[in-house]
Amino acid sequence: MKLLICFGTRPEAIKMAPVCLELTKQNIPFKLCVTAQHREMLDQVLDFFDLIPDYDLNVMQPNQNLNTLSSRILLEMDTILEKEAFKMVLVHGDTTTSSLVALAAFHRHIKVAHVEAGLRTYNKQSPFPEELNRQLTGRISEYHFAPTKQAKTNLLQEGVNTHAVVVTGNTVIDALNITLEKIKHGYNNSFIEKLKRTINFNNNVILVTGHRRESFGEGFENVCNALLELANTKDIEIVYPVHLNPHVQKTVFNRLSGVSNIHLIAPLDYPSFVWLMSQSNLIISDSGGIQEEAPSLNIPVLVTRATTERFEGVKAQCSFLVGTETKKIIATAKQIMGKERTSKLSNPYGNGDAAVKIVDFIKNNLID
């Protein structure tokens, strides 16, 4: 069976890298296509995991809107799918790349398998456009690799055949374990060394990230107000790798620059970010991947979103849904920071063998 793996963003690359590595380990041939919906951040992940794309669409352009991006992905993918007779395309998650690659494959009567399938908020505006991207990809896909039992339940309730759904755990835990093992055995770089020099890790470290479109404007203003208040707390260091999106940068730098214990830094490469997470006491973020990674590091996450498609973490009290309400962020952060964690968090998103389960299913059921 001729297999194509396609992704375009840094989070997709992180989560699909273990699948690529496991396919290689089991001597199953595949080709790799990147849309480069993210460019620089994507390339860092490819380099770290030693992945070399067979196709690079390089679709990213400054300030392009979603319709322009979508049309470029659809057109460029059609050229590739016409050139090679692929039998299956593997896509990941909820990105514009995933949904448009799946659509391009469907138009060519090529089967689609969806990694990280079945997550839902059932609110088309939150997260936007990811929720609808994920639902569209799910409707197109023939096979669904669901990270949790709840994700499988969502798919079954939508009419997906139970035999087409496999619960695997999330491949981000595989990627995290691979990275932590490299760090354990001496991996280092200039970013990590700089963090060691500039951050006082003897204090309580709050790691912050944010990039969701639905928080642009007032939402980010509210989060910044909360961070300013938390920065007044004794023995606190706030580290904020600021997303490259201009809507994020403008608000964050205007509101938070010049505060001695708020460190606004450039986005980190993946291994440096994993190292920084491992040194943190609390994370404030709107990232889906971080909600999945942090429990394995025993770090609670305040989720600055109105909804989450990863509610297993909320139920397990690994994550706390606080939205972008300033007072709620402050109160919840202080409450968590004031408690000593006596028990290790249990990660509801798996233990690091998702890629093996995915590749075993492909090998045993889909290869002629």
Residue-wise pLDDT tens digits, 231-284: 998 899 999 999 888 888 999 999 999 999 999 999 999 999 999 999 999 999
Taking the CA atoms of the chain, what radius of gyration do you get in angstroms? 20
Contact 209, 309 (CB under 8 A): no
3-class secondary-structure state, position 227 = helix
Token digits of residue 186: 């001496």
Q: How much is the pLDDT for 318?
A: 93
Q: Report the C-alpha gap between 293 and 174 in whole angstroms.
A: 10
Choose between 147 and 217: higher pLDDT.
Answer: 147
Q: How much is the pLDDT for 368?
A: 67
Cis, bond preceding 147 (omega within 30 deg of 0): no
Give the architecture (CATH level 2) of 3-169+353-366: 3-Layer(aba) Sandwich (3.40)
Q: How much is the pLDDT for 245?
A: 84
Q: How much is the pLDDT for 156?
A: 98
3-class secondary-structure state, position 32 = strand
Q: Report the C-alpha gap between 17 and 354 in whole angstroms.
A: 12
Prediction pTM value: 0.93
Longest dimension (CA), the chain: 62
CATH 3.40.1350.10 matches 186-337: no
Whether 3-169+353-366 and 186-337 share one fold: the answer is yes
> Which of the four pLDDT bands, split at 50, 70 and 90, describes residue 40?
confident
Active-site positions read 94, 116, 130, 211, 213, 243
Q: How much is the pLDDT for 289?
A: 92
Indicate the DSSP class of residue 268.
Answer: P
> Which of the four pLDDT bands, split at 50, 70 and 90, describes residue 342?
low
3-class secondary-structure state, position 335 = helix
Residue-wise pLDDT tens digits, 304-337: 999 999 999 999 999 999 999 999 999 999 999 8
Q: Where are the domains of the chain?
A: 3-169+353-366, 186-337
